[in-house]
Structure 1
Amino acid sequence: MNVIVELRQYTLHPGTRDTLIELFEREFVTGQEAAGITLGGRFRDLDDPDRFVWLRAFPDMAARKRALHAFYDGPVWQAHRDAANATMLDSDDVLLLRGPGFPAPETPGPVVVTICHPLDTAAFADHFEQHLRPALAAAGAPPLAVHRSEHAENTFPALPVRTGEDVLLWFTAGEATPALPDLSARLKSAPQQLRLESVRDVRRRLGA
């Protein structure tokens, strides 16, 4: 079932990512879940030591508004917001999407999210299903959790989202960054690929 999903990319002050992750895992996971928010994967960007990437999901836009008010007006965020905000240079790089969400992977290993800006979203979605999906699967990198832009009004404007753009994105799991064919005739810009490591993986490795 498709839900409303936020893909959030935070640019942090140098050296503060572990501070934010520790606070996030200790306070903000259960705090958001208590407000009705479904937490997805939380990741370190393997190519940028000052980037934290995470997902959360809501049944619909009305539920999103209620849940965000409950969390950001509630005691957990109010108690810890100054410490969290002190780590952040930019928290506004947020894609509002519709898709299945993407939980923290159960099996260890890198995750790659591929973000495409199609010239024609419907045509590219068809091309993806007819050609890209089977080609990636045959290459050992089957696409997981495909998402498309959600253009509903942002009813919680205290947290901005990116507007005026269409994206189609998907996740893959495995060591290799999936090789893509030339898509320049179908996209406004080259695909963006983020190589990510689950916070859960790091905790396993450290025995936490």
Structure 2
Amino acid sequence: MDLIVELRQYTLHPGARDTLIELFERELVAGQEAAGITLGGRFRDLDDPDRFVWLRSFPDMAARERALHAFYGGPVWRAHREAANATMLDSDDVLLLRGPGFAAPDAGGPVVATVCHPLDPEAFAGHFERRLRPALTAAGSAPLAVHRTEHAENTFPALPVRTGEDVLVWFTAGGAGPVSDLSDLPDLSDHVRCAPQRLRLEPVRRGA
């Protein structure tokens, strides 16, 4: 079943990433889950020591609004928001998506999130299923989850999301090799507005 998914990329003050991760895992995971939020993967960006990437999901937009009000108006966030916010330079790089959610595979190891901006979202979704998914799978990097932009109004404006763009995002296991840099895939230049963004990500294990 498709969910409402937030893909959140935080730019942090230099050296603050592990501070935020420790606080996040100790206090903010359980606090969000208690408010009805499903936490997905949490990641260190392997190419940017000051970026923290994470996902969370909701059954629908109404549930998202209720859960965010419950968490950000509740005691856990009130107790820890100053410490969390002190680590952050920017927390507004957020893609609102629809898809299955994503948590890192139990086997461990890095994953890659690929973000494409298609010229024609519907046509590109078909192209992905016909050409890209089979190519990735044949090369040993089958997509683990695929998400598309959710265009519903952001009903919790205290937390901005990116608007005015369409994306298709997929996650694969492994952080190196030709498939990871897209060189072994069919040419995308006729289908996308700009070069895909690739996030090479190291999972944060629960409690780590």
Distance 1:110 1:89 in 2: 25
Structure 2: unaligned runs, 5 residues or longer: none
Residue 109 of structure 2 corresponds to: 109
Residue 206 of structure 1 corresponds to: none
Partner AA of 2:9 in structure 1? Q
Residue 189 of structure 2 corresponds to: 184
Distance 2:128 2:196 in 1: 13
Residue 57 of structure 1 corresponds to: 57
User: What is the TM-score normalised by the length of structure 2?
Assistant: 0.95
Distance 2:115 2:79 in 1: 34
Partner AA of 1:184 in structure 2? S
Pairwise CA distance, 1:181: 3.0
Distance 1:184 1:94 in 2: 25
Partner AA of 1:200 in structure 2? R
Tell me if the contact between 1:41 and 1:104 (Cα under 8 Å) persists in the aligned partners. Answer: yes
Q: Secondary structure at the match of 2:129?
A: helix
User: What is the TM-score normalised by the length of structure 1?
Assistant: 0.95
Distance 1:162 1:175 in 2: 26
Of stretches 134-143 and 175-184 in structure 1, the one that deviates more from structure 2 is 175-184
Tell me if the contact between 1:108 and 1:201 (Cα under 8 Å) persists in the aligned partners. Answer: no
Instruction: Name the % identity.
Output: 80
Distance 2:207 2:78 in 1: 28
Pairwise CA distance, 1:201: 8.6
- Deviation string, structure 1 residues 79-123 (Cα, Å, up to 9, x no partner): 000000000000000000000000132111110000000000000
Pairwise CA distance, 1:199: 0.7
Residues 192, 201 of structure 1: alpha-carbon distance in 2 compared, 3 angstrom cutoff: farther
Tell me if the contact between 1:141 and 1:174 (Cα under 8 Å) persists in the aligned partners. Answer: yes
Distance 1:97 1:175 in 2: 23
Q: How many residue pairs align between the two structures? A: 203
- Deviation string, structure 1 residues 27-63 (Cα, Å, up to 9, x no partner): 0000000000000000000000000000000000000
Partner AA of 1:9 in structure 2? Q
* Structure 1 vs Structure 2 CA RMSD: 1.2
Pairwise CA distance, 1:174: 1.7
Question: Are residue 25 (structure 1) and residue 25 (structure 2) matched?
Answer: yes
Distance 1:202 1:110 in 2: 18
Distance 1:63 1:86 in 2: 28
> Where in structure 2 are the equivalents of 1:55-204 lying within 5 Å?
55-176=55-176, 177-179=180-182, 180-200=185-205, 203=208
Distance 1:80 1:9 in 2: 19
Of stretches 41-50 and 170-179 in structure 1, the one that deviates more from structure 2 is 170-179
Deviation >4 Å, runs of 4+: none
Residue 13 of structure 2 corresponds to: 13
Of stretches 175-184 and 16-25 in structure 1, the one that deviates more from structure 2 is 175-184
Q: Secondary structure at the match of 1:102?
A: coil
Partner AA of 2:22 in structure 1? E
Distance 2:125 2:181 in 1: 18
